[in-house]
Amino acid sequence: MGYTPMMQQYLKIKADYKDSFLFFRLGDFYEMFFEDAKKAAEELEITLTSRDGGKDDRIPMCGVPHHSAENYIKALIEKGYKVAICEQVEDPKTAKGVVKREVVQLITPGTIMEGNMLEDKENNYLAALYSINNQTFGFAYTDMSTGETSAMKMVNGWPSVLSEIYNRPIKEIVIEDKLDESFKNDLIDKMQLTLSYVNDQTQLPDQMIPLIEGVNDELLQHACKILFQYLYHTQKRSIDHLKKAQVIELEEYMTLDMYSKRNLEITHSMMRNEKYGSLLWVIDRTVTAMGARKLKKWLERPLLSRQHINRRLDMVTGFYDQFMERESIRESLRSIYDLERLSGRVSFGNVNARDLLQLKNSLSKIPSIKQLLNEFNHQVIKDLADKIDPLQDLKMLLEKSIAEDPPISITEGNILKDGYNEKLDQYRHVSRNGKDWIAALERQEKENTNIKSLKIGYNKVFGYYIEVTRANLHLVPNDRYERKQTLTNAERYITNELKEKEALILEADEKSVDLEYQLFLLIRDKVKAYIPALQKLADLISEIDVLQSFATVSEENNYIRPTFSEAHQVKLEESRHPVIEKVMKSESFVPNDILLDEDKFMLLITGPNMSGKSTYMRQLALTIVMAQVGCFVPAKTAELAVFDQIFTRIGAADDLVSGQSTFMVEMLEANHAIHHATSKSLILLDEIGRGTSTYDGMALAQAIMEYIHNNIGAKTLFSTHYHELTSLEENLNGLRNIHVRAEEINGEVVFLHQIHQGAADESYGIHVAQLAGLPQVLIDRANLILTQLETKSGESVSPEQKVVLTSQQEQMTLFVEESSDSSKQVKKEEDNIIAMINKWDILEMTPMDAMNKLYDLQKKVKGMKGRK
């Protein structure tokens, strides 16, 4: 026996959506069958049942109610799945056989449009990738919810693609199946993306060809075609709000690779992977969702054009100088809804009356914003006002049509104002007056029959009826009343007069709702015509929001406007770290000067751990990023160069996904910087070489510094514990030694966080271990070993230290008399331990390294004691 006709229909549709959950509409439920049902029941934690499908074995089945399906769909999308929505597309009453069903929308992580599935302040990108040689790539991405589309060509191989994906909130990527398998694995495992595939057919429908008019490069054209073809075949509805693909010339923006963005914590903190503790957290004082998204995009692509940077800084200066007007602008912006996503919903066809009411209320604020901008003294701010189109015609259309408190549904009526349409007003008049007539009839019948409890009611099954309790049945006028329904304690009746009025009222109600729905669709189509103008307005409003945010945070945090040097030098006076300064709150951040010029373009930083070397390096990079996005910077004075790239190697972390050690990650990131940096780049290298042996590490560190100095000439900050490297200042003309000052007071180290010229004289490693809370016995032992090592290396030891050394050696000696073979073996092991200790370079150890070595030493000693 074969499957039932309905199951055959399901299987036929499912065959076209094998990689998606098929939500198959049956009455008031979306049902899933077979493997879909098993997996959905597990992922959504819903009951798995079964049904008869025509074969001997029952078919696994689960379902979700149609009215609450959105929450279940959201849960699946957040897990990276796709959901195909299959609806009934014909009236079951007129269907011959199985009701016709079709997939009306494919919802994927990169194509969601529903408001509750989107983060207000985050873009949601769908990307496409194409390459013919695995070295040069065409890359395109779009945000369906806003319509923005970008494309770029990447010529630096696969790592540049991964960096670009890392820097964008991309949720799904469309590729051709022939893409290299290792690349596919990276996209899934490293980038955690949902992969979708298209065939090698990239013929676009006519209506989408204009979207690639400005794309001349063949590789980029192909990537855009893959992207738009996927949207056309999956969305099955209007996507007229998509903007033309904008080609991004990467050489016009600073390059921030994935390592730098992570290490500098531009948009997310490393520890918690959240906004708090990032640069974005500090400078985001935007008040609209559009502005928040634009700020994030600006941070991810700092400018390289000095002219464009200064234009932004001019506008920030304008907002900075006039506090009262800026605060008025902020208040007005708070009332602006997300015009970008409202435009997308209008085009997509899922906009409701409340959305259009939000649009109307937003547009009502635009004239006041335009007027406020004209009140600023700076011409660049007035120029922004001149570009604003308040869209008065659209605002008037919505003003006269949309009700002030409409329902969410657009099929229940009461979404349009009285007076908008004459025919609708007539239906409403009949409906309202008819109901008044019903109320009057009820009063009249009570008087005529003398039945005080008589009432006229309504339900969808029987319509209008007169209800009389059993105690009053003897008063019913049987010549006029016709029995309609018998209840336990009452009877229900109808009269000819009530029948006629019921027909008029119900017809008016039904026609009113249908007409109102059709009128709303016409209004929506009229609003569609304004989408390009709305998108342009949204772009301007978001830009104004970001600029006022820069001005607001600059005033609150005492930032200053930077200037840019033609000589490509950096001169920061009392520079501060914007994030740490904010986190410290009441504590005072210690500022420092930073000077890099053509003569001294490389700084070698020495000093103890925890003293602020990494902070000093990061604050320079963050200051540069802030300046090149157009924000004021945390310093007393700031003269900066425009940097084309920032490379960082800060912090040690194994790449567990790739199985690479800390040292390998160090070398890969250093290699990336060496191969791509120019003389206009900034390189930050923190303790390169610490992941291997001392001499290997020192040799590599020196070679890297010499190579950057002699072959690249990039501005470089290099921190190290290898004090021997400080002698390079004598041989490398562009290098200057600086150190972070610390003092030892009453046996305790005090970090002053002050940068001074010259090399550090001590490492203070054991003091740092003490601050970290290591056991005192361990600290005492480390001090003893350090003294022994200093003695053997010929360094001066005070008489007091010699006394301590002698005393402790007597108490902790490892030697015993050689009275047996086992004693000789122990003696040999002791000699080995001493030789091992002599090789230790305590000055270059981190506290954790020291603890690990002492732990190994302790195990060896315990083993020897057991043999004694």
Q: List residues forming the annotated binding site.
A: 607-614
Residue 240 has, within 13 A of its CA and on its CB side, a CA count of 13
83-88 sheet: strands from edge to edge: 49-51, 59-65, 29-33, 21-26, 83-88, 101-107
Q: Please answer whether residues 465 and 484 qualify as being in contact, where contact means their C-beta atoms are separated by less than 8 angstroms.
A: yes
Q: Which residues does 178 contact at the CB level (< 8 Å), separation at least 6?
A: 200
- Residue list, annotated binding site for ATP: 607-614
Tokens representing residue 437 in the block: 């007539």
Residue 775 has, within 13 A of its CA and on its CB side, a CA count of 6
- In the block, tokens 């979404």 appear at 415
Q: Please answer whether residues 162 and 258 qualify as being in contact, where contact means their C-beta atoms are separated by less than 8 angstroms.
A: yes
CA distance 499 to 479: 16
Q: Which residues does 745 contact at the CB level (< 8 Å), separation at least 6?
A: none
Cβ-based neighbour number of residue 286 at 10 Å? 26
CB under 8 A, 24+ apart: contacts of 662-668: 662/691, 663/691, 663/692, 664/691, 666/690, 666/691, 667/700
Q: Which residues does 573 contact at the CB level (< 8 Å), separation at least 6?
A: 593, 635, 636, 637, 638
CA of residue 765 relative to chain centroid, distance: 39
Q: Please answer whether residues 128 and 213 qualify as being in contact, where contact means their C-beta atoms are separated by less than 8 angstroms.
A: no
Report helix, strand or coil for 63. Answer: strand
> What's at 164, amino acid-wise?
E
* DSSP letter, residue 85: E
Nearest to 650 by CA among 176, 256, 262, 372: 262
CA distance 310 to 563: 9
CB under 8 A, 24+ apart: contacts of 750-753: 751/608, 751/610, 751/611, 751/612, 752/590, 753/590, 753/592, 753/611, 753/612, 753/615
| CB-count exposure of residue 92 (10 Å: 0-12, 13-18, 19+) | exposed
Residue 204 has, within 13 A of its CA and on its CB side, a CA count of 17
CA distance 211 to 150: 11
Paired residues of 174 in beta bridges: 128, 196
Q: Please answer whether residues 709 and 685 qualify as being in contact, where contact means their C-beta atoms are separated by less than 8 angstroms.
A: no
Q: Please answer whether residues 22 and 36 qualify as being in contact, where contact means their C-beta atoms are separated by less than 8 angstroms.
A: yes
Q: Please answer whether residues 365 and 332 qualify as being in contact, where contact means their C-beta atoms are separated by less than 8 angstroms.
A: yes
Report helix, strand or coil for 29. Answer: strand
Query: Does an H or E element contain 182, and which?
Result: helix 181-185
CA distance 717 to 613: 10
What DSSP string describes 276-329? TTSHHHHH----SHHHHHHHHHHHHS-B--HHHHHHHHHHHHHHHH-HHHHHHH
Query: Does an H or E element contain 153, and which?
Result: strand 149-154
CA distance 191 to 735: 39
Pairing label, strands 490-494, 482-486: antiparallel
